[in-house]
Amino acid sequence: MTTAAQKLRALIESGEHFVAAEAYSALTGRIVESVGFKAAYLGGHACSAFHYAVPDNGIYSQVEQIEQAGRIAFAMDIPLIADADTLGETVADAYHFTRRYVAAGIAGYHVEDEVNPKHTSTVGSLCAITDMQARIDAAVQARGDSGLVIIARCDEMYPQARGGGGTDSVAEAIKRGKAYAEAGADALVFPIASPEATGAIVKEMTIPVCTLGFDLPDTAFTLSTGWGWAGAAQLHMARARELMETGTVKMDHVLAGKDQLIEQDLYDKLTADWARKTGRKVREGY
């Protein structure tokens, strides 16, 4: 049987650009699979905000992320890529959590070079290149022969002015990208980098480069996030206000395709077969 990691590797090796669409729950994973996406993506901020109502600035733990990622991966046949943040604080953490991601059936993840606490009120920074290489090396050792795709996330193009720890230097991003590839990363991602900067970086890389949030030519794939969980929260807020103000919500309460998405027919058949075999009554129509 082909594993999720093998499916993801095959997608990347095909050379055809693909989009890993946002899936922040088991149901949304089934949805993106049902409409035809070949892969799905679980962002850290999407998961921390939607499921735990906390920011993704270093306080959201890998244990929580792995728990949700495993639920999503289990519900789909397409591979799931997860945001693994920094994989903890030490190489021992990186090793341990990588094995947890493998056990949860995750096809791949991205691990970043930010230093915690990140993307918050304190002035951030990136870890030393050697420390990130050690983190990647630990992850490579931990995945064994599972095929887990390790994507190194370099935040050099994520500047202080936008809440990141980078200096916005293309030259430094290239230096880091090459070092992460040497350490064993399978792919790279440079969040916030402009299309021009990304193009310059891609030309210098020896492994595939993906983008976070938008498509670009000459990149391997896109990790698409933000539109799903934020859109769902916006809709929930609007309908909650409508209910508070009017006492009702005007909407179609039927979700088209719901039975297929939750495998209703499968479980109905299982229980109907059990009922017949054990002499119990079965509802008309089953």
Give the residues across from 25 on adjacent strands.
none
The closest of 189, 192, 101 to 140, measured between CA atoms, is 101
Distance CA 269, CA 145 (A): 38
Distance CA 91, CA 94 (A): 5
266: helix, strand or coil = helix
Residue 117: asked if its preceding bond is cis (omega within 30°), the reply is yes
- Among residues 56, 113, 168, 186, the one annotated as catalytic is 56
The closest of 232, 195, 180 to 23, measured between CA atoms, is 232
Beta carbons of 135 and 34 less than 8 angstroms apart: no
Instruction: Give 107's contacts (C-beta < 8 A, 6+ positions apart).
Output: 3, 4, 5, 7, 8, 39, 73, 79, 80, 81, 148, 149
Active site residue 83: no
Place of tokens 């920011």: 55
- Catalytically active residues, by annotation: 56
